[in-house]
Structure 1
Amino acid sequence: MSLLEVKDVTHTYGSARSFLPIRRKETQVLSNVSLTVEQGMCMGLIGTSGAGKSTLGKVILGLEKPKKGQVLFQGEDLYTMTAAARRKMRRDLQVVFQDSYSSVNPRLTAEQIIGEPLDNYEKLSVSEQKRTVAQLLEMVGLHAEDMKKRPGQFSGGQLQRISIARSIALKPKMIVLDESVSSLDMVTQTNILHLLQELKNEYSLSYLFITHDIRAAYFISDAMIVMENGRIVETCYDKNDIFTSEQPKVKELVASILPEHPKDRTITGR
Structure 2
Amino acid sequence: MRLLQVQEVTHAYGKDRLFGRSGRQTPVLSNVSLSIDEGVCLGLLGSSGAGKSTLGKVILGLEKPQRGRVIFQRQDIYAMNAVARKQVRRNLQVVFQDSYSSINPRMSVERIIGEPLDNYESMSVNEQKRAIGELLEMVGLKAADMTKYPHQFSGGQLQRINIARAIALKPKLIVLDESVSSLDMVTQAQILALLNELKRVFGLSYLFITHDIKAAYALSDRLAVMDMGVVVGMFEDKEQIFASTHPAIMNLLQSVLAEHPRNRQIKPV
Residue identity in the other structure for 2:5: E
Task: Supply the AA of the counterpart residue of 1:31.
Answer: S
How far off its partner does 1:260 sit?
1.1
Structure 2 distance, partners of 1:268, 1:11, is: 36
Cα contact 2:43–2:210 (8 A) shared by 1:
yes
Q: Which sections of structure 2, spanning at least 5 residues, go unmatched?
A: none
Give the structure-2-normalised TM-score.
0.97
* Distance of 2:268 and 2:145 partners within structure 1: 49
Residue 86 in structure 1 maps to residue 88 in structure 2: no
CA deviations over 1:25-72 (Å, ceiling 9, x no partner): 111100000000000000000001100000000000001100000000
2: distance between equivalents of 1:23 and 1:268?
Answer: 44
The letter for the 2-side match of 1:56 is: L
Cα distance in 2 between the residues matched to 1:124 and 1:16: 46
Alignment correspondent of 1:240:
239
Q: Where does residue 46 of structure 2 map in the other structure?
A: 47
Following the alignment from structure 1 to structure 2, what is the Cα–Cα distance between the partners of residues 52 and 79?
20
Offset of residue 22 of structure 1: 6.2
Aligned to 2:255: 256
- Equivalent-residue separation in structure 1 for 2:266 and 2:237 (angstroms): 31
- Structure 1 contact 199–205 (Cα < 8 Å) conserved: yes
Paired position in structure 1 for 2:6: 6
Query: Quick one: which amino acid aligns to residue 200 of structure 2?
Result: N
What is the Cα deviation at residue 171 of structure 1? 0.4
Q: Paired residue for 2:216?
A: 217
Within a 5 Å distance, the mapping from 1:140-151 to structure 2 comes to: 140-151=139-150
**Does the aligned pair in 2 maintain the 1:8–1:69 contact within 8 Å?**
yes
2:108 corresponds in structure 1 to 109
Q: Which residue of 2 aligns with 1:207?
A: 206
Root mean square deviation of aligned Cα: 1.3
With normalisation by structure 1, the TM-score equals 0.97
Q: How big is each residue's C-alpha offset from its partner over 1:5-39, in whole Å with a ceiling of 9 and x where there is no partner?
A: 0000000110149x678651111100000000000
Could you tell me the percent identity over the aligned residues?
63
In 1, distance between residues paired with 2:90 and 2:22? 40
Instruction: Name the residue aligned to 2:191.
Output: 192
- 1:240-262 CA-partner distances (Å, limit 9, x unpaired): 11111111111111111111111
Structure 2 residue aligned with 1:139:
138
Retained in 1: the 8 A contact 2:11–2:30?
A: yes
**In the superposition, relative to structure 1, how do residues 238 and 149 fare at CA in structure 2: closer, same or farther (>3 Å)?**
same
Determine the C-alpha separation between the residues in 2 that align with 1:80 and 1:171.
24
Matches within 5 A, 1:133-172: 133-172=132-171
- How far apart, in 1, do the equivalents of 2:102 and 2:74 lie? 29
State the shift of 1:160 in Å: 0.2
* Cα distance in 2, alignment partners of residues 86 and 265 from structure 1: 49
- Once the two structures are overlaid, the 10-residue window that deviates more, 223-232 or 245-254, is 245-254
- For residues 199 and 226 of structure 2, the distance between their equivalents in structure 1, rounded to whole angstroms, comes to 24
Gaps of 5+ in 1: none
